[in-house]
Amino acid sequence: MPEGRIVKAISGFYYVRTPKADIQCRARGVFKKRKWSPLVGDLVTFEETENGEGWVTDIHPRKTELIRPPIANVEQAVVVGSLRQPELSFDLLDRFLVHAEREGLEILICLSKVDLVDDPKKLIDRVRGIYDPAGYPILTTSVEKDTGIDELKKELSGKLSVFAGQSGVGKSSLLNSILPSLGLETGEVSRKLGRGRHTTRQIELLDLPGSGQVADTPGFSQLSFTGMEETELSACFPEIALRAPRCKFRSCLHKNEPSCAVLEACDKGEIDKGRHQRYLQFLEEINDNRRY
């Protein structure tokens, strides 16, 4: 039977892309009985019907799976943070990074709207100082000035990527710059609230020139740490995970334990103290979730 990848899902229909065409399919009832739904990004086997449509009969094993947005087999997360409108939120940035790390995705930090800052170097250097110890590549972009767009295209090439970031940071604008024919709707940032409105309402995989795909999604809405154990969190901070084996205690949570290699690295400036503080904040949230 033919195979393909689900590139869009709307109202119970799954659009499966094959080398020849996109086939509109429904899912067999057996998936509902198993409480297992096909996701955009899934590689599937399907059975064609006489009217040119089809039925999804099998879902191939997934490499990765995100819950919100619900999408499978993503390889890379492009975590977008704007330098202005809205102001860069390190708390939100780290939440996105933790969820991407937990899923084992490659990560690229994309700083957008660099044209809105009079002297962006100081702010960009600050971001690099925080995230260079974690090993995250950082790319600066401006849609208005066409800055960093070619570099972004290279980073997306050959991979299935998803954009993550709060509303208004310019995810749809970046996608429009990469694929001008899209004409995706973009939203202005509310001056009063300092955040944008959602402009993407469904998940769709978009083919990139040459190779690779990028997912246009409504955004990551699962930013809490429900279901995560406190011992899992440090693995989602690469600079902490690197030093944790050198701590005196194997169960060290890097809070105030003696001979903690992570705390020592913070004191030496090898780990940004603000980022470690957010790690402790997330740790508290995980503990709070366990109490209720």
CA dist., res. 218 & res. 197, Å (int):
10
The reported pLDDT for the residue numbered 67 is: 79
Question: Between 90-102 and 273-291, two packed helices, what is the crossing angle to 10 degrees?
Answer: 70
Structure tokens at 269: 């400036």
| φ, ψ dihedrals at 160, nearest 5° | -100, 110
Residue numbering of the annotated binding site for Zn(2+):
247, 252, 254, 260
What's this model's pTM, rounded to 2 decimal places?
0.87
Three-state DSSP state, 132: helix
Calculate the average pLDDT of the chain: 89
Q: Where are the alpha helices (DSSP H) in the chain?
A: 29-33, 90-102, 120-131, 149-156, 171-178, 230-233, 238-243, 261-267, 273-291
Q: What average pLDDT does this structure show over 261-275?
A: 97
What's the residue count for the chain? 292
The reported pLDDT for the residue numbered 50 is: 86
Q: For the CA atoms of the chain, what is the radius of gyration?
A: 21
Q: Which domains does the chain have, with CATH numbers?
A: 3-61 (2.40.50.140), 66-216 (3.40.50.300), 230-291 (1.10.40.50)
Question: Between 171-178 and 149-156, two packed helices, what is the crossing angle to 10 degrees?
Answer: 80
CA dist., res. 25 & res. 194, Å (int):
41
pLDDT exceeds 60 at position 190: no
Least confident of 148-162, 181-195, 198-212, 219-233: 181-195
Of the pLDDT bands very low, low, confident and very high (cuts 50, 70, 90), residue 150 is very high
Residue numbering of the annotated binding site:
112-115, 165-173, 247, 252, 254, 260
Structure tokens at 137: 């590549």
Q: Which residues contact 83 (CB under 8 A, 6 or more apart)?
A: 111, 112, 113, 114, 116, 117, 120, 123, 124
The letter for the amino acid at 178 is I
Residue numbering of the annotated binding site for GTP:
112-115, 165-173
| pLDDT per position as a tens digit, 63-77 | 999 877 889 999 999
Percentage of residues in the chain having pLDDT higher than 70:
91
CA dist., res. 286 & res. 289, Å (int):
5
